[in-house]
Amino acid sequence: METELLYDLSPFVRIYKDGRVERFVGTEIIPPSLDEKTGIQSKDVAISSDSTVSVRLYIPKAATDSLQKLPVLVYFHGGGFIIATARSPAYHNYLNALVAEANIIAVSVDYRRAPEHPLPVAYDDSWTTLKWVVSHSTGNGPEEWLNSHANLKKVFLAGDSAGANIVHNMGIRSGDETLQGIEFAGAIMVHPYFWGNEPLPLETTEPERRSGAENLWRAANLTTTGCDDPLINPTMDPRLSGLAFNRILICIAEKDIFKHRGLYYKEALGDTGWRGFMEVMEAPGEDHVFHLYNPNCENAVKMMKKLVSFINEDK
């Protein structure tokens, strides 16, 4: 007898009632390396004693031969909290390019994924990672690359899709629990995965498309109250005005189902009295996370330049 499906999120993943998970994308991994094209060195580091949480670190090879301190980008990958990892080829290649262009250090977070580890595990693992980064603020943390080369007075958080959702939620948590020893210089949210029970003006009302976004969330967060949960709908969070970022770049794509949520996020945050600076960049004619699939297209190149200028604005 065939096991009954709990969620059919094809063509990405199927989740069965007996706990089995069939991932169809995001399963390939690539080892860390010295990338000859960019000169970026990478390595994997376990940051918890039980090795449940790890990061992939990226640093320009030239930086390891000098005493130069570089800004730090903590990156959270996308995939609906369910697919892809920090070791996925698309993320590895993209971060090699971004680190080279911006001349920074990157900490790519390999948080545990749902549904095997339902939310809030990914948020908790991400917070654990930020505290691990903080542990290097006095120069005697466990990782020499960060001790010697990281400028923790200039830390950026960035992510795409579910990773952008994590960026927001780390900003909310940082507003509640200050992280001593690092300073956030900005946050980058690329095609953020936000949603809500009621459609926004101009947002799709097609039941099938809306249920796809909702089921992805319910599959990742088994105890959620639904899509007005503040974790997925930031406008429902009374703590929104306390977001711990003063500069935010939001990237949206014209054809992305989540586009209007990114725009509404800017509007809603402004309405709370938040006093930071926020900029929105839209990629015409593009869909969700297009830059990972086609990093050399004109819009992806423009977006990369924007990210680099945002990071280096007051370097």
| Catalytic site includes residue 288 | yes
235 within 8 A of 264, measured Cβ to Cβ = yes
Q: Which of 108, 161, 168, 174 is catalytic?
A: 161
| Catalytic site includes residue 161 | yes
Q: Which of 35, 160, 237, 256 is catalytic?
A: 256
Q: Which of 77, 149, 288, 291 is catalytic?
A: 288
Give the sign of the dihedral formed by CA 50, CA 51, CA 53, CA 55.
Answer: positive
3-state secondary structure of 227: coil
Q: Give the C-alpha separation, 4 to 76, whole Å.
A: 32
User: Long-range contact list for 266-269, CB < 8 A, 24+ apart?
Assistant: 268/234, 268/235, 268/240, 269/234, 269/240, 269/241, 269/243
Q: What is the DSSP string of 24-80?
A: -SS-------EETTTTEEEEEEE-STTS-SEEEEEEEGGGGGS---EEEEEEE--ST
Q: Give the C-alpha separation, 279 to 250, whole Å.
A: 6
99 within 8 A of 35, measured Cβ to Cβ = no
* CA–CA–CA angle 13, 18, 24 (5° rounding): 15
Question: Would you name the residues annotated as active-site residues?
Answer: 161, 256, 288
